[in-house]
A and B are shown apart, each in its own frame.
Chain A
Amino acid sequence: MTDRRHTAAINGATGAPLWLLAELTYRCPLQCAYCSNPLDFAAVKEELTTEEWLDVLAQARAMGAVQMGFSGGEPLVRQDLEALVAEARRLGFYTNLITSGLGLDEARIASLHAAGLDHIQISLQASDPDVAAAVAGSPKAHARKLAMARAVKAAGYPMVLNVVLHRHNIDELDAIIALCDELGADAVELANCQMYGWAQLNRAGLLPSRTQLEAAEATTARWRERLAAKGRDMRLLFVVPDYYGERPKACMGGWGAIFMTVAPDGAVLPCHSARMLPMSFPSVRERPLREIWYDSEPFNRYRGDGWMKEPCRSCDERHRDVGGCRCQAYLLTGDAAATDPVCSLSPNHHLIEAARREAEAGASTMEALTPRNVHQSRVFCRA
């Protein structure tokens, strides 16, 4: 899918947030080892209430936000999801549900449809049921997901599937795409896992080798030709891992430029990964959303280019890629204002090259991955 989140121009004035990601909960029945939720998610106890979420939606819409995602964790865990969707739709949001498919059934699809939900994206872990079960930590989830993908399509929605790729499933990409084709998908996001949250913790066990990646790109290209030849309209979006780029991505279209995440407990973030940065984000429980977006220190800290260091500061491309990703810079260098080491001009680019070499040599098993669950998360919770 074309990602127009990343097209905002960088200029002096702060624009409105066009995107709201509502992370309704960190609860999830699955345990994917690449989950982007914070490692210490178990520390979050008090989720926003229905009334608080309704207020967040109204505030965000009044500020100009128009695209929104309901995400998590697994958003279907929230029994008030339908009420939130209905209000979002009434306010004029385009409503996307980003789900594992677990917690979905025909009745719930019907009630979400009646509430005005615009779009559902279901994630798959693999084509092979055993791999899927190992990745998700659930033996039954895969069959359920396939059934729900079909049910979503039967309800009149386009079937948009998301498959997170990593070194343990990327070699079966041909079978994965074949499965999506057989299911009747309209679009498939083949998203190589990016190294944040649990994925960063499990990086050595997840990052594919360049050989694997190149084979997967070739497989995708072959499938595009095959689909075109048989007149089948199934769009394939292949997202390359940051670690194999030469220039960093313009993360979120710029810090606090167009994108805003509200976490389950009301913390407002410039993206869903930013929570692990060494800074404190304001909550909708304390301040109005407008004030947080325009006036708070965390949202202003990395806006514009005044915060940049060399080599970004004097780089001609600094407005194109905004220095890359603040989270990636922090995770790899300990300095959130550093150039994203993905950039070949970064003095820390050797860290990326070392990870690639490790991936080339690696022989880790899926069993060695740390599953994302409450038990493991408590290890990371501050006392």
Chain B
Amino acid sequence: MMKTATVYRLRPGWRLQWEEAQGRHVLLYPEGMVQLNDSAGAILAELDGQRDVARVVANLQARFPDAPAAAIEQDVHEFLLDAARQGWIQHD
């Protein structure tokens, strides 16, 4: 289960960047790049090293009021767990 007070941040040395030429966010890491879809980009862009999971969910719910709030929460939780498992993000 996801702890909503957890603060995730990008793995050290990794960088999230909006690429105008590709029209999407990319996650840059040593000698590689993950090309992110819209929702993954939107979620990772919320990780500023301060916001916890609950805050990230609330921000995205506010940004996308037309989407069901519960679905956003579930998407965020699932994505963050998966991103952590893949080593893209970490928490203390």
Residues of A within 8 A of B (CB): 1-5, 16, 18, 63-64, 66-67, 69, 92, 94, 96, 118-119, 121, 156-158, 160, 187
Contact = CB atoms under 8 A, between A and B. Distances in A.
Nearest to B11: A158
Of all A-B residue pairs in the complex, the 10 with the closest CB atoms, nearest first, are A64-B21, A94-B28, A119-B30, A4-B32, A96-B31, A158-B13, A67-B33, A4-B33, A16-B21, A2-B32
Of the candidates A67, A94, A158, A160, the one having the most CB atoms from chain B within 10 angstroms of its own CB is: A94
B91 interface: no
A64 B19 contact: yes
B57 interface: no
Q: Say what secondary structure dominates the interface of chain B.
A: strand
19 contacts: A1-B31, A1-B32, A2-B32, A3-B32, A4-B33, A5-B32, A16-B21, A63-B21, A64-B21, A66-B17, A66-B21, A66-B26, A67-B32, A67-B33, A69-B31, A94-B28, A94-B33, A118-B15, A187-B30
Interface in B1-47: 12-13, 15, 17, 19, 21-22, 26, 28-34
Contacts of B31: 1, 3, 5, 67, 69, 96, 119, 121
Contacts of A4: 32-34
Contact of B30 (A66, A156, A160): A160
A38 B32 CA distance: 25
Contacts, number: 53
Contacts of A1: 30-32
Interface residues of B, number: 15
A296 B13 CA distance: 36
Nearest to A65: B21
Contact of A121 (B12, B30, B33): B30
A94 B21 contact: no
Nearest to A98: B31
Contacts of A66: 17, 19, 21, 26, 28, 33
A2 B19 CA distance: 21
A1 B28 CA distance: 13
A121 B17 CA distance: 22
A63 B28 CA distance: 17
A157 to B, nearest CB: 7
Nearest to A189: B31
A158 B33 contact: no
Contacts of A119: 13, 30-31
B22 A94 contact: no
Given A67-B33, A119-B30, 14 more contacts: A1-B31, A1-B32, A3-B32, A4-B32, A4-B34, A5-B31, A63-B21, A64-B22, A66-B19, A66-B33, A69-B31, A94-B28, A96-B31, A158-B12
Contacts of B33: 4, 18, 66-67, 94
A16 B24 CA distance: 14
Contact of B13 (A5, A67, A69, A157): A157
